[in-house]
Amino acid sequence: MIKPHGADILKPLFIENSVERNALLEEAASLPALILNSASAANAVMLGAGYFTPLEGYMNVADTLSVTEKMQTENGLFWPVPCINCTDDITAIEGSSTIALLDPNIEGNPVLAIQNVEAIESLSEAQINLVTKQIFGTLDTGHPGVKTFKGLGKYLISGPIKVLNYSYFETDFASTFRTALQIRNQIEQNNWETVVAFQTRNPMHRAHEELCKIAQESINADGILIHMLLGRLKPGDIPADIRDAAIRKMVELYFPKNTVMVTGYGFDMLYAGPREAVLHAVFRQNAGCTHLIVGRDHAGVGDFYGPFDAQTIFDNNTIIDALDIEIFKADHTAYSKKLNKVVMLRDATDHTKEDFVMLSGTRVRDMLAAGEDLPPEFARPEVAEILMSYYQQEENL
C-alpha cells in the first residue's frame, strides 16, 4: 500500500489505550484550559485521525511562515497549509506548560485534547495578512475562508498534542466518519491496490457520479473512496447528513457492489482553492489512496480562483517530489444530449452550450424548493427526492 506522507507508518495522535486516555482526561480537569475555535478543533481531530501524518501537533510562527511561503516547515517537511492553534485570548493559559484544549462544538465544552505548550507567540497584522494572501490568494473578507481565518486571533500556541476524542463527528456521523487508519485497513481488507478518491462538500449529481466512473476506468482502479467533508461549511451549503443520505442512495443504486467506500472526515472547509487541493491530496495519501480526482475549481468559492488553478499547482516540482499520490485532472462534466451520456467538456469539442444539460446551483435550489423534478440527465431521481425534501422543509421554516 502507498506509504503515508513523510513517514513509513501512519501517525495518528489519538490515544487508543482507554486506561491512558482516562488518566489524561482526569489530568485535564486540573489543567489550565483553552476553548478552541472550530478551525483549531478541526485540526486536532485531523491530527488525531492520522490525516495530518507526520505532524505531531500545532505549528509555531516560524513553521507557519515557512509553510506559507515555501510549503515546507523549517526542517524541510512538505506541508501546504499551516496547522495552527490560534486564539485571541491567552489569559487563562499564559505561562502554562501543559493545557487542556476544550471542544467548542459540543455543549459543555468537553476536553478534546491535551497540548504540551512549546511557545505562545503572536502574529503581527502584516504576518496575518501574508499568511492569508498566500493561502487564500486574496485578502477580501467576502471570501468565507479569509473571513474565518482573520477572525481566529493573533496568538499562536504551538506544541505536540494528545487527542482524546473525535468531537461530534464520531457520534453524529457514526456510519460515515472514518479515520485515515480505518480507511487504510478497509482498503487492505478489500484487497484494493489502486484507489481513486473523490472529495466532496456537496451532494453528487449525475456529473459527479460519472466523473468517478470515468476516473476509475481511466486508471483501472480497484475501488473508489467517496470522502466527504463533515465539518463546518459556509451558509447555504447543504448539511452533511443530507449529503450523506443522498450520496449513499446514489452509490447503492448506481455503482457496482463493493466498488465504493462512502466515508467522511472531520474538518472545516477552508475554500482555499489550490492550496486546499494539495492538502486534500495529503489527506488521501495518508488514507491509502493512490489517486485523487481534482476537478474544475476544486475547493474554490465564487470567482476567487481560475477554473484549473487547483490542477496546475500540482505541476510544482516541490509538490511532485513530496507526494506519492497521483492526480486525476478532470474537467467540468455534464450530460451531452448529442451523445446521450455524461462527458467531460474538454472531450466534447464539437458541442455548444445548448448541447449539454446544465443547471446553475441557484436554479437547482429553486426547482427543488418548488417541488419541481430535476432533469434525470442532471440528477438521479432518488437523489433529487432526498434533496427536494430538505429544500422544501427549509422553505417552510
Catalytic residue positions, numbered: 201-202
Distances, alpha carbon 151 to alpha carbons 95, 141, 154, 272, in Å:
24, 10, 9, 16
**Distance (Å, whole) CA 344 – CA 335:** 9
**Distance (Å, whole) CA 205 – CA 376:** 10
Contact 201, 236 (CB under 8 A): no
Contact 179, 12 (CB under 8 A): yes
* Non-local CB neighbours of 25 within 8 Å, separated by 6+ positions: 111, 164
**Distance (Å, whole) CA 311 – CA 327:** 8
| Residue 156 phi, psi dihedral angles, 5° rounding | -120, 120
- In sequence order, what are the beta bridge partners of 107? none
| DSSP run (H or E) holding 111 | strand 111-116
**Distance (Å, whole) CA 391 – CA 372:** 11
**Omega before residue 54 within 30° of 0, cis:** yes
* Grid cell 506522507 in the structure block, residue: 5
Contact 234, 271 (CB under 8 A): yes
C-alpha cell at 308: 484549473
In total, the chain counts a number of residues equal to 397
